[in-house]
């Protein structure tokens, strides 16, 4: 099977300038630990789209490597039957056009009922080879077992490797009096199905809805304290670096056009001026992507990898911020080169690296470096974004 690779939509000469270590190829049959990081910006699309096959190919040309085709909240309750029929027809069309080659991102179907999982794979026929797995909404310890059993049974019957991404978003996960017990029960359930679990997703929209909230575009989800506390607990229980945790992905960024702003833009002018990229900065501000960029920084700082997005214009920013900086790479390499513990000054002579407490961070960073690459020493986020943002 031909492999896909992040930033392959950028010409080779530009990539050679941008990267110290280039992103490595991967395919949909790779180790789930690699695929979970390689998801990057996961683009959601309603399964009702009449040109869904074209949408998938067009998104891939803009650098998208993972998509979710949604049969749940993105469509109306009265559209389910038509959406299923459209999804099956469009994936069959896509498979007949390009097979399951690198032109097709990792595709996941978000279902609303466990019975849809086996039914859809059966109806897809050979086109089921395009499906990497299923997104499982409103996941709790009470409802999640049926979804995971359906994925397991369908995989065994079809011979396909089907992965699962549960979404933590239900009221039981949000309310303080039920959250801790529920998350620990979910952790035990996911442990029983660990080979099938690709990543845990966070449904910040539903979490906000539990309080009648919606974050404005000039604030991040971390400014919405009731929801931020839930994310903290999800990472604490499900995202630990002790060998039992999972990749936890960043919540959705749902804005793609700026309205009236209350706060100043969150992007400093100087990095863009240094790269003669002032028009790029203005475009990001106009599209409210300065807020997205800040939120992705906070996602990374809080242990989340990748992000749910709802518009192709979001993808370049998420991926540019996923590239490992040269300084980060040097720090991680120095830490992993030491086996007996101890502390050392960083190669950049601006911080202290400690071999034992920083080791888990270094190992995670090296996995991200594998799929997103390492930027050349003097290459900035602005350069990466400008190159990746092909319109």
**124: CATH:** 3.20.20.60
Pair of tokens at residue 330: 């040097």
Residue 35, pLDDT above cutoff 90 = yes
Q: Are residues 38 and 154 in the same domain?
A: yes
| Cα–Cα nearest to 211, from 180, 183, 173, 259 | 173
Residue 283, pLDDT above cutoff 60 = no
Residue 182 resides in a domain: yes
The domain tally of the chain equals 2
Q: Are residues 288 and 342 in the same domain?
A: no
Residue 114 resides in a domain: yes
Q: Are residues 242 and 257 in the same domain?
A: yes
Residue 266 resides in a domain: yes
Residue 284, pLDDT above cutoff 70 = no
Place of tokens 């034992």: 356
Q: Are 214 and 255 in contact (CB under 8 A)?
A: no
Mean pLDDT of the chain: 91
Its pTM stands at 0.91
Segment 231-267, tens digit of pLDDT: 999 999 999 999 999 999 999 998 876 555 445 555 5
Q: Where in the sequence is the domain holding 337, given as residue range(s)?
A: 324-372
| Cα–Cα nearest to 314, from 372, 256, 358, 271 | 256
Residue 174, pLDDT above cutoff 80 = yes
Q: Are residues 344 and 286 in the same domain?
A: no
Q: Are residues 307 and 336 in the same domain?
A: no
Q: Are residues 336 and 292 in the same domain?
A: no
Tell me how far apart the alpha carbons of residues 324 and 269 are, in angstroms, rounded to a whole number: 22
Query: What are the backbone angles phi and psi of residue 277, rounded to the nearest 5°?
Result: -120, 35
Q: Are residues 159 and 228 in the same domain?
A: yes
């Amino acid at each position: 099977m031909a492999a896909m690779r992040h930033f392959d939509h950028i010409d080779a000469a530009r990539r050679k300038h941008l990267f110290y270590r280039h992103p490595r190829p991967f395919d949909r049959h790779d180790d789930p630990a690699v695929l979970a990081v390689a998801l990057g910006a996961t683009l959601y699309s309603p399964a009702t789209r009449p040109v869904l096959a074209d949408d998938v190919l067009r998104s891939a040309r803009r650098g998208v490597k993972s998509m979710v085709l949604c049969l749940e909240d993105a469509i109306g309750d009265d559209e389910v039957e038509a959406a299923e029929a459209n999804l099956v027809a469009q994936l069959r069309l896509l498979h007949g056009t390009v097979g399951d080659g690198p032109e097709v991102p990792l595709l996941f179907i978000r279902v609303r009922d466990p019975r849809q999982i086996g039914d859809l794979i059966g109806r897809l026929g050979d086109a089921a080879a395009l499906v990497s797995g299923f997104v499982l909404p409103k996941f709790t310890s009470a409802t999640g077992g049926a979804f995971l059993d359906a994925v397991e049974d369908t995989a065994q019957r079809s011979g396909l490797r089907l992965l699962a991404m549960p979404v933590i978003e239900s009221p039981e996960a949000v309310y303080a009096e039920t959250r801790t017990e529920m998350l620990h029960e979910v952790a035990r359930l996911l442990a029983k199905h660990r080979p099938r679990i690709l990543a845990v997703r966070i449904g910040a929209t539903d979490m906000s809805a539990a309080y009648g909230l919606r974050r404005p575009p000039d604030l991040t989800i971390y400014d919405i304290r009731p929801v931020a506390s839930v994310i903290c607990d999800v990472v604490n229980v499900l995202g630990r670096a002790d060998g039992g945790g999972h990749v936890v992905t960043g919540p959705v960024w749902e804005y793609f056009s700026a309205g009236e702003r209350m706060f100043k833009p969150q992007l400093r002018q100087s990095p863009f001026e240094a790269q003669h990229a002032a028009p790029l900065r203005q475009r990001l501000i106009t599209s409210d992507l300065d807020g997205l960029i800040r939120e992705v920084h906070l996602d990374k700082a809080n242990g989340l990898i990748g992000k749910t997005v709802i518009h192709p214009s979001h993808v370049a920013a998420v991926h540019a911020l996923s590239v490992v900086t040269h300084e980060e790479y040097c720090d991680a390499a120095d830490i992993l080169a030491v086996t007996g513990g101890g502390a050392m000054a960083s190669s950049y002579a601006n911080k202290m690296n400690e071999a034992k407490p920083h080791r888990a961070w270094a190992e995670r960073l090296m996995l991200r470096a594998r799929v997103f690459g390492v930027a050349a020493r003097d290459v900035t986020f602005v350069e990466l974004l400008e190159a990746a943002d092909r319109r």
